[in-house]
Amino acid sequence: METIKTKCLIIGSGPAGYTAAIYTSRANLGPVLYEGMQPGGQLTITTDIENFPGYPQGINGTEMMAQFKEQAMRFGADVRPNIITKIDFSSRPFRCEADNGDKIEADTIIIATGASAKYLGLPDEEKYRGMGVSACATCDGFFYRKKKVAVVGGGDTACEEALYLSTLAKQVYLIVRKDYLRASKVMQQRVFDRENITILFNTNTVGLFGEDGVEGAHLIRHKGTPEEEKFDLEIDGFFLAIGHRPNTDIFTAIEVDEAGYIKTFNNTSATNVEGVFAAGDVADPRYRQAVTAAGAGCKAAIDVERFLLEH
């Protein structure tokens, strides 16, 4: 347990957090970065990143985040593996606590805590969590070699997960509630072209069944219409890919929008609390890309620098 004083506390270790750390450390602000629950953030549970400029052949997400971290540490960022659990936003310096008992006094804070996977809210998801239900194909796909799995969702994440799983599993079902995919055209085409992916359009999941783990899903096609049809699908794994929820639980004093994303003001990364800035997916309901998160981390660092100069 330590008492730490810093000009800039960065919470979160995705592209936004590490970019903020690179910029603030190069500006001699001696940033302290707490990695949080998922060191490296969401990119560590995705497959290859093909759209981050500078990597023409693509790069593995975990490898890319290790490089972000190395670059931040090269300039002296103090990266810690713990989780910030409490913050008093009522006066500056902000007083914070970490799960290992560290006490931190920070002149400014950059919140870069990202977002977490959403679930459908079915009691069966809880019942079978870790027993066939997962929100991370890269983490758990290995268990479903030569088996049957379903992925719920119609966005880029769902397509990416389905494609990844199709290289391991015998059969992949993509359960899509509308009659179209929302994913980018290139991802859609890859899914259409993959022989062992079957898309179930207009389909909703209402439950799961199985003795000691998932053995199948109860589905409804054309729910609420005259053609409504209930059927069961035999599967061994059920993967959620229906979007994310921003991680803001401990930031009760920080204003969020109706979907829970942190509000920023005046085209900057400033939040409603002076000296507190937000960057990346936690404050971005619209773009949510690694490259935009990195850009947002840079902006937050520059905002911090200016704020400290003015105060």
Catalytic, 136? Answer yes
Cα 135 to Cα 161: distance, rounded to the nearest angstrom: 9
294 touching ligand NDP, by CB under 6 A: no
Q: Of the two residues 288 and 299, which places its CB atom closer to ligand NDP in the complex?
A: 288
Tokens found for residue 164:
């990844």
Compose the 35-74 pattern: x for residues touching ligand NDP by CB under 6 A, - for all others.
----------------x-----------------------
243 touching ligand NDP, by CB under 6 A: yes
Cα 304 to Cα 311: distance, rounded to the nearest angstrom: 10
For ligand NDP, which residue of 14, 36, 114, 153 counts as binding (CB under 6 A)? 153
Q: Name residue 289's amino acid.
A: Q
178 touching ligand NDP, by CB under 6 A: yes
Catalytic, 139? Answer yes
For ligand NDP, which residue of 29, 152, 276, 293 counts as binding (CB under 6 A)? 152
The CA-atom distances, in angstroms, between 266 and each of 122, 210, 303 are: 40, 52, 11
Give the interface segment with ligand NDP, choosing from 71-79, 239-247, 257-265, 299-307 (CB under 6 A).
239-247
For ligand NDP, which residue of 30, 155, 260, 295 counts as binding (CB under 6 A)? 155
Q: Quote the least distance from Cβ 82 to ligand NDP, whole Å.
A: 28
Closest residue to ligand NDP, judged by C-beta, is 155
Q: Quote the least distance from Cβ 288 to ligand NDP, whole Å.
A: 4
Q: Of the two residues 24 and 157, which places its CB atom closer to ligand NDP in the complex?
A: 157
Q: Quote the least distance from Cβ 150 to ligand NDP, whole Å.
A: 12
For ligand NDP, which residue of 269, 288, 300, 301 counts as binding (CB under 6 A)? 288
Give me the residue label for tokens 């599967």.
Answer: 235
**Other CB atoms within 10 Å distance of the CB of residue 192:** 11
Q: Quote the least distance from Cβ 182 to ligand NDP, whole Å.
A: 4
Q: Which of 102, 107, 124, 140 is catalytic?
A: 140
The CA-atom distances, in angstroms, between 111 and each of 24, 102, 103, 275, 297 are: 14, 18, 17, 11, 9
Cα 198 to Cα 150: distance, rounded to the nearest angstrom: 9
Residues engaged in binding ligand NDP (CB under 6 A): 51, 120, 152-158, 160, 177-178, 182, 242-244, 288
Positions marked active-site: 136, 139-140
